Amino acid sequence: MQQSADTAAPAPARKADHRLFRGNLVALVVSLALVIGFFALATEHFWSLRNITNVLGQASILMCLTAGVAIVFISGEVDISVGSLVAAIAIPLIVIMNATGSLALGLGGALALGLLIGVVNGYLSVYLKINSLIVTLGTLFIIRGLVYLYTGKRAIADTVYLESFFQLGNGRLWGLIPYPALVAFALVGGLAVLMTQTRFGRKVYAVGGNAEVARLAGYNVRRIKFTCFVISSLAATVGGILLASRLGSAVHVAGLNYEFQAVAAAVLGGVSLAGGIGGLIGSALGVLILAFVSNGLGMMSAPTEWQLVITGAIIIAAVALDSAKRERA
Amino acid sequence: MHKSMKTLLIAAASTVAMVATTMAQETPKTVGYIVNYATHEWYQNVIGGMQDRAAELGIELEVIDANLDIAKQVSAAEDFMARNVDVMIITPVNEEGAVPILRRAKAAGVPVVLEGNPVVGMDTLVAICDYDTGYNAGVEAGKWAKENLEGPVRVMNVGLPLLSATVLRSNGFMDGIRTEMPDAELVHDLDGGGNPDRAQEVSAAALAADSDINVIYGINDSSALGGLQAWRAAGLPEDNLLVVGTGGEGLAFLNEMAKDGPLQLEAAMFPEKVGFTSMDAAVAMFNGEDLPEHIVSPTHTLTPETALEFYDFDGESRQINWERVNELEAPDQCMKYASDL
Amino acid sequence: MSVTSDQSPTRQARGLSLGGLLRNEQIFLIILLAVLIVGLSLAAPRFMTAENATAILHQSAMVLIVAVGMTMLLITAEVDISVGASLAFASCVVMDVINTTSSLTLGILAGLAFGGGVGLFNGLVVTRLKVNSLIATIATMMILQGGVFLYTREAVQNHHQIEAFSLIATGYVGPVPVPVIIAALLAVVFYVMLNYTLIGRRVFAVGSNPKAARLSGLSPETIKLVAFVVTGILVGVAATILASLLNAGQPTAGRGFELIVIAAVLLGGTSLFGGKGTIAGTILGVLILKIIDNGIIILRWNQDLQIIVPGVVIILAMFLDQLRKGRTDG
């Protein structure tokens, strides 16, 4: 344990970074407000309490995935296996729930599988030193393939119809705030506190900013990165559980391409692929911006192709602006 | 623009009787359709048929594309309910994954018509009979083979085991062709993924292993034509080959038939008619009518000659001949269902 | 070509250590390939036939054509995820332009120009706007996937019926399919270019040490831009073959193509971090993945294995690579 050594990062650089973070957060909040304002004026159905709360629920799954992906990015590694993980963890969840009639046991099974995937990703990337993009690209394929093999490409239906499980992804607190949104906000909030208010979080930033310096400062770089992979898989598991509830089943094609969406949202939210930069509140705002754009275009009955084009353009513009800002700073 | 107007007029003229009955009813103001993926020609033509019928009845049709994302399908249903549509039509991305939506729609009092695939807890489904479609095409293929093909019938099935619907089509085809040619043999039973590039690749590998076949059956046009393209890429002669396509979802089969090549039979499923029928079902649901669990949309096996009775085709676009399609009779029951597999 | 004899001392010095390593890596891949071929021949007699060998080469051709460009791009330490989406879009452009102009040449040129244009866009976004290439090309992929449906809602059918067009994919020269010849020629050209020309050396220099490359008067941005454009043009070549093969421009084609290409290149020993890679390795990588694909079909195994096995192979290959590196380092 090297808990006394967390002053390693050079202080001035940090301050500048913090200013950038804050500026970034303001920019994201303003962007989100602009998006919401635009659609509120452009289409009649958008600006209703029902729709706004709907979108929060719809964004919840990606919010969980993105939080985990962002932490791995900040640690200087990559995790793109989350899209397949979402489909995989629903299987023990539904199968165990069907067999035992217990939601708790099902959730336990899902979290156990999520933990296992995180350990495998982390072990291969950190301890066997295989590039994490390759590892998680590989596990992205392997997990999806195993899901197809196990399910025979048929969805596994929830046959016990537990009300608590249905409510988890579909219900609303006071008939207003979707439970999945509450779960996602709690997860993102908790992880944001972990990343900004604890020694562990500061170490993750230090390791991602410069692993060599962090190592010389006495940090256990491997253990920190390994932990990030595990956190990412567990966060994605929570997202997968919410999705399974919304689908009432374990669907073999669930989560296809979510890894790209999560990466895009994290980057839009100011997280750098180079490591050490960005935060969870920012990446959550990134998710919300993309979710409101998608919902707003849907409300305007814009075809999917426009949604793809606009999302792609937003990502390029956001990252280009961000890197221009960094060059000036 | 004026083409679609023309279609509308034809449609209007040919369905006076139906309009007359529906006029007596209340019509919903808005109907929301959640489509599986609108980038596929099949669904574009389903939407086209719905739009034609909706315009006739003075209904506003809204479409949201789930784009094969099972979660987006749930979001789309939420969006429609937030917009207070009167009826939803849903083509499920996945049948099991649509169960909670139906439950929530029911709670919100929004009637739902399913298109394509059944979902537990549904009220009504508009769909073709997959087995019958394959079976009838198989019978025609058997007759054609008797007259035109040399040697015993040897089939390459470019299938899609993923979906029960497509398995039913393949099974139906083999059962049908054996009524005419009892010795017909299934040489290759492939998973072509339902898309042209995958179908081409898988067929090429199969043909490299054994090219002694004379019938290619595809569970959709992409699969059939992917198989045919693999045949061509392998440099095999086309004079003793029959290709049977399924769906008739777009322009590809009309193009290929215009060449008078090996594609001589097409098990057309008329997506426009499916859309048309779904819209009528939505109106009936809105009025609280008692509907059968399965409303069958008709299919018909086309030849290069008869194809042009059903579609006006100028090489660039196609227009359905509503009069001819609405003459087709659909059975009340299918010969086989997914539950029989 | 006066540059061929221009072997600088630094390159030779690197050749000693790195070259030895690379050769090692390829021996490993050759052994893997041999094991696969022998194993499949024993397990399935239908595997070892001239027809099947031709079919495998035929299917490898399109992947290889784009993979040689991707090799060069990865050597400069950049990546392009948009190649699959661009492939589909370009195949529609090729068919559409031939339909309207009835000119094969114009259609092919349009396809190459489209692919090159996408490459130029990617290259400019990466080098001028300083956007990480993984992110930039994911975004381009989304734009192209959406854009192609704005361009055409349906597959672009063949209305020109030009005989020569279908021969691009389905023709043979002697026993060899045309696409295989195109792929082989391109592989040779890129092999020569990367190993024996000034451009090739610059490509390696940019990837292995951009700062040094800048100091020595090279513009890393220009080299990277060129690598993006070249990769894009090769996508145009592959798109022409795809359009011919499917006899249509398919807006839905090419899903997952980028992952197969990148997997093959990485399996071939090219580094994600730039500065290291060979065309020979890439060829082996493509062949190994395609033979695995073919074997699974021939053996009538569950086709779901077609996504599991490559995943395992890539991780395993990288692991062995890591082991070897560990040994040389220590």
Using CB atoms, which residue from B201, B206, B208 is nearest to C54? Answer: B208
Share of chain B above pLDDT 70, in %: 93
Mean pLDDT across A86-112? 95
Residue B223: its pLDDT value, please?
94
Q: What is the mean pLDDT of chain A?
A: 87
Interface mutation vs chain B, best among C57, C60, C252, C290, most B CBs within 10 Å: C252
Domains of chain C: 50-329 (1.10.3470)
- Looking at chain A, which residue has its C-alpha nearest residue B77? A54
Residue C304: its pLDDT value, please?
78
* Set of chain A residues whose Cβ sits within 8 Å of the Cβ of C274: none
Taking the CA of residue B279 and the nearest CA in chain C, the distance in Å comes to 23
Please count the other Cβ atoms lying within 10 Å of the Cβ belonging to residue C260.
Answer: 20
Residue C8: its pLDDT value, please?
39
- Least confident interval from A201-205, A312-316, B105-109, C56-60: A312-316
- Looking at chain A, which residue has its C-alpha nearest residue C251? A305
Q: Model confidence at C132, in pLDDT bands (50, 70, 90)?
A: confident
Whether residue A158 contacts residue A165, with contact meaning beta carbons closer than 8 Å, is answered with yes
* Set of chain A residues whose Cβ sits within 8 Å of the Cβ of B37: 304
Of A166 and C317, which is predicted with more confidence?
A: A166
Residue A29: its pLDDT value, please?
92
Share of chain B above pLDDT 90, in %: 55
- Looking at chain A, which residue has its C-alpha nearest residue C126? A320
Residue B1 has pLDDT above 60, yes or no: no
Q: Model confidence at A55, in pLDDT bands (50, 70, 90)?
A: very high
CA A48 – CA A31 distance, rounded (Å): 20
If one counts the domains in chain A, the total is: 1
Mean pLDDT across B245-253? 89
Please indicate whether, in this complex, the C-beta atoms of A145 and C266 are within 8 angstroms of each other: no
DSSP one-letter string for B38-75: TTSHHHHHHHHHHHHHHHHHT-EEEEEE-TT-HHHHHH
Burial class (CB in 10 A: 0-12, 13-18, 19+), A180: buried
- Beta strands A249-250 and A156-157, pairing class: antiparallel
Please indicate whether, in this complex, the C-beta atoms of C307 and A148 are within 8 angstroms of each other: yes
How does pLDDT run across B68-124, given as a tens digit for each residue?
A: 888 888 989 999 998 889 999 999 988 888 889 999 999 999 999 999 888 888 999
Taking the CA of residue A228 and the nearest CA in chain C, the distance in Å comes to 20
Report C:126-145 residues touching A (Cβ under 8 A). Answer: 129-132, 134-136, 138-143, 145
How does pLDDT run across C200-257, given as a tens digit for each residue?
A: 988 998 888 777 766 666 788 899 999 999 999 999 999 999 999 888 898 888 877 8
Please indicate whether, in this complex, the C-beta atoms of A264 and C138 are within 8 angstroms of each other: yes
Residue C275: its pLDDT value, please?
87
Please indicate whether, in this complex, the C-beta atoms of C155 and B251 are within 8 angstroms of each other: yes
Using CB atoms, which residue from B235, B250, B316 is nearest to C155? Answer: B250
Please indicate whether, in this complex, the C-beta atoms of C157 and B251 are within 8 angstroms of each other: yes
Using CB atoms, which residue from A251, A255, A295 is nearest to B96? Answer: A251
Residue B286 has pLDDT above 90, yes or no: yes
CA C17 – CA B11 distance, rounded (Å): 76
CA A267 – CA A73 distance, rounded (Å): 9
**Structure tokens that stand for C312 in this block:** 């395992």
Residue B47: its pLDDT value, please?
94
How does pLDDT run across B19-56, given as a tens digit for each residue?
A: 444 455 688 999 999 998 887 888 989 999 999 999 99
Please indicate whether, in this complex, the C-beta atoms of B208 and C247 are within 8 angstroms of each other: no
Using CB atoms, which residue from B38, B82, B94 is nearest to A251? Answer: B94
Mean pLDDT across B280-307? 93
The domain of A31 spans: 3-328
* Set of chain A residues whose Cβ sits within 8 Å of the Cβ of C146: 304-310, 312
Name residues whose C-beta falls within 8 Å of residue C15's C-beta, 6 or more positions apart in sequence.
none
* Set of chain A residues whose Cβ sits within 8 Å of the Cβ of C308: 141-142, 145-146, 149
The closest alpha carbon to B322, from B313, B331, B310, B330, belongs to: B310
Q: What is the mean pLDDT of chain B?
A: 88
Mean pLDDT across A261-290? 90
Mean pLDDT across B292-314? 92
Using CB atoms, which residue from B208, B226, B232 is nearest to C51? Answer: B208
Taking the CA of residue C84 and the nearest CA in chain B, the distance in Å comes to 12
C252 interface with A at CB cutoff 8 Å: no
CA A326 – CA A321 distance, rounded (Å): 9
Residue A139: its pLDDT value, please?
92
- Least confident interval from B214-223, B241-250, B309-318, C287-296: B309-318
Residue A210 has pLDDT above 60, yes or no: yes
Which subunits sit against A, judged by 3+ Cβ pairs under 8 A?
Answer: B, C
- Looking at chain B, which residue has its C-alpha nearest residue A247? B97
Please give the torsion angle defined by the CA atoms of residues B116, B119, B125 and B126, in that order, rounded to the nearest 10 degrees: 0
Residue C2: its pLDDT value, please?
34
Q: Model confidence at B251, in pLDDT bands (50, 70, 90)?
A: confident
Please indicate whether, in this complex, the C-beta atoms of C305 and A141 are within 8 angstroms of each other: no
- Asked whether the ipTM of the predicted complex exceeds the cut of 0.90, the reply is no
Residue B16: its pLDDT value, please?
43
Q: Show the 3-state SS of chain C.
A: CHHHHCCCHHHHHHHHHHHHHHHHHHHHHHHHHHHHHHHHHHHCCCCCCHHHHHHHHHHHHHHHHHHHHHHHHHHCCCCCCCHHHHHHHHHHHHHHHHHHHCCHHHHHHHHHHHHHHHHHHHHHHHHCCCCCHHHHHHHHHHHHHHHHHHHCCCCEECCCCCHHHHHHHHCEECCEEHHHHHHHHHHHHHHHHHHHCHHHHHHHHHHHCHHHHHHCCCCHHHHHHHHHHHHHHHHHHHHHHHHHHHCEECCCCCCCHHHHHHHHHHHCCCCCCCCCCCHHHHHHHHHHHHHHHHHHHHCCCCCCHHHHHHHHHHHHHHHHHHHHHHHHHC
C188 interface with A at CB cutoff 8 Å: no
Domains of chain B: 2-128+270-297 (3.40.50.2300), 130-268 (3.40.50.2300)
Residue A86: its pLDDT value, please?
96
- Looking at chain B, which residue has its C-alpha nearest residue A168? B100
Between A and C, how many residue pairs show a Cβ–Cβ distance under 8 A? Answer: 133
Mean pLDDT across B133-147? 95
CA B172 – CA B139 distance, rounded (Å): 9
Contacts of residues A173-177 at CB distance under 8 Å and 24 or more positions apart, as own/partner, are A176/A49, A176/A53, A177/A53, A177/A56
Report C:284-313 residues touching A (Cβ under 8 A). Answer: 302, 304-308, 310-312
Residue A7: its pLDDT value, please?
38
Mean pLDDT across B147-164? 90
Q: What CATH number does the domain containing A79 carry?
A: 1.10.3470
A253 interface with C at CB cutoff 8 Å: no
Residue B324 has pLDDT above 80, yes or no: yes
Mean pLDDT across A71-97? 95
Residue B197: its pLDDT value, please?
84
Q: What is the mean pLDDT of chain C?
A: 85
* Set of chain A residues whose Cβ sits within 8 Å of the Cβ of B161: 153
- Least confident interval from A70-84, B67-81, B264-278: B67-81
A95 interface with B at CB cutoff 8 Å: no
Which subunits sit against B, judged by 3+ Cβ pairs under 8 A?
Answer: A, C
Please count the other Cβ atoms lying within 10 Å of the Cβ belonging to residue B169.
Answer: 32
C16 interface with A at CB cutoff 8 Å: no
- Looking at chain C, which residue has its C-alpha nearest residue A139? C311
Please indicate whether, in this complex, the C-beta atoms of A130 and C315 are within 8 angstroms of each other: yes
Using CB atoms, which residue from A57, A254, A303 is nearest to B65? Answer: A303
Mean pLDDT across A204-221? 89
Residue carrying the six token digits 């399974």: A244
Of A160 and B59, which is predicted with more confidence?
A: B59
A123 interface with C at CB cutoff 8 Å: no
Q: Model confidence at C58, in pLDDT bands (50, 70, 90)?
A: confident
* Set of chain B residues whose Cβ sits within 8 Å of the Cβ of A45: 79, 82-83
CA C162 – CA C166 distance, rounded (Å): 7
Taking the CA of residue C329 and the nearest CA in chain A, the distance in Å comes to 14
Using CB atoms, which residue from A58, A255, A304 is nearest to B67? Answer: A304
pTM of the model: 0.82
Please indicate whether, in this complex, the C-beta atoms of A307 and C135 are within 8 angstroms of each other: no
C198 interface with A at CB cutoff 8 Å: no
Interface mutation vs chain A, best among B74, B81, B339, B341, most A CBs within 10 Å: B74
CA C195 – CA B289 distance, rounded (Å): 76
Mean pLDDT across A45-70? 92
How does pLDDT run across C246-284, given as a tens digit for each residue?
A: 888 988 888 778 888 988 998 888 887 788 899 999 999
Residue C293: its pLDDT value, please?
86
Of C314 and C130, which is predicted with more confidence?
A: C130
Mean pLDDT across A177-197? 95
The closest alpha carbon to B311, from B45, B115, B116, belongs to: B45
DSSP one-letter string for B323-339: HHHHH----SS-S--GG
Using CB atoms, which residue from C131, C145, C263 is nearest to A316? Answer: C131
Residue carrying the six token digits 């215009």: B258
Taking the CA of residue B262 and the nearest CA in chain A, the distance in Å comes to 33
Using CB atoms, which residue from A45, A51, A254 is nearest to B70? Answer: A254
Buried b (16+ CB within 10 A) or exposed e, B273-286: bbbbbbbbbbbbbb
Using CB atoms, which residue from A50, A170, A254 is nearest to B82? Answer: A50
CA B137 – CA B55 distance, rounded (Å): 33
Residue C127: its pLDDT value, please?
93
Using CB atoms, which residue from B65, B75, B83 is nearest to A304? Answer: B65
Please indicate whether, in this complex, the C-beta atoms of C252 and B235 are within 8 angstroms of each other: no
Mean pLDDT across C302-308? 79
